[in-house]
Structure 1
Amino acid sequence: MTTRKREITKADILPIADYTQRRAEMRKAVVALKKPRRIEVGPAATFYFECFETMLQQVQEMLYIEKGGDEQLADELRAYNPLIPQGRELVATVMFEIDEPIRRANFLARLGGVEHSAFLKFAGETVKGVPEADQDRTNEAGKASSVQFIHFPMSDAQAAAFKQAGQQIIVGFDHPAYAHMAVIGEESRLSLAKDLD
């Protein structure tokens, strides 16, 4: 079994001209990879479980769009490398998506601290989510950011249980204003289990 890569380096980045030629096929491949890694939880939240490939595509796209060269690359690697699972964890970008601006603002104003309320439950275990420590995702007024970055660190035993075929896994929040859960299907579990090697 091949271990997933855990850090993007300059050597992984295609030159802009090469990426431009291969962009459509690479984006198509990442869309297919992302599909089972996308889990809707409740009416407004979506978990996008990240991996080396999703973050590499994100960095390539940012460089393609902004064309900032090596200086931009250094910034992108600082931003996106921390979201690549490091072997005994899952990492999710969580987005709260509400189209209507006033409703969205009111919803997020009640959601302070939601980044500390995410969890995975399986095999009698609860894995609490740990927010990415790059910045506070709830402001002083108690308003949550619409985008959260959450790590789910696991013990060896938890990782082994997660990998068991047919294991029922629940992802959710126990926040007073957003107590929603969803079952992670078997196709998604298989995809995410690869992050735990």
Structure 2
Amino acid sequence: MRSQQCSCLRSRVIEFLIQSAHLLEVSPIVKYSALSLFADRFYPALARIRDGKGTENWLLHPMRESNLQLFGLISIWVSSKVHDTPSLCVKNLKPLADKFIKEQHFTTRDLLEAEITFLQVIEFGIGVTNIAFIFVEELLSQLKVVSRVGEHVKVEACMDIMDLLYEKEETSVLYRSPHSLAASILVASYLITVPQQKWEFPVLPWGKISYT
């Protein structure tokens, strides 16, 4: 039962993160870097926090849904600092937190403290060059080079699939490698969006050969 509750909570927070990224109008690379920071690094690290081996502060104990939503916003903020010039600032995040985080009110100081805590939990590992979205873009570019049918595959379709996988936790459960995840997303998008009569080459073997 607890596992199901944790899964539902994670799904709601991921959905909140995705919606927040849309409302903040961040670029796709910022959005998916934030998802990677939160879903692939921060959230799994909370297990050691629960075991008493992590940083002790009020943002982590107890771990409420509102706190997780705050950390979702922080992941977008950190990602924006990596990719954007100028980056998002507290003035961008605070109104969003006030409007959509209903369970608790967070001050500007809380957001600043949450950023430090977030970075401590992920052990300051903010490298985001090895994420699925980057490999999806690379594979899509390669597909367009080897076949005209690649023009029918839209990156938006790939992003819709990736969002769904993050919400359902399939990114971490089914695929450990961002290369394999990217290839699978592209193949799924290809099969869904390209009319069968336009298929020009065996895309499944191509995806397997490219990233095995």
- The reply to whether TM is greater than 0.5 is no
Bigger-Rg structure (1/2)? 2
- Using the size of structure 2 for normalisation, the TM-score is 0.26
Relative to total residues, which structure has the larger strand share, 1 or 2?
1
- Using the size of structure 1 for normalisation, the TM-score is 0.28
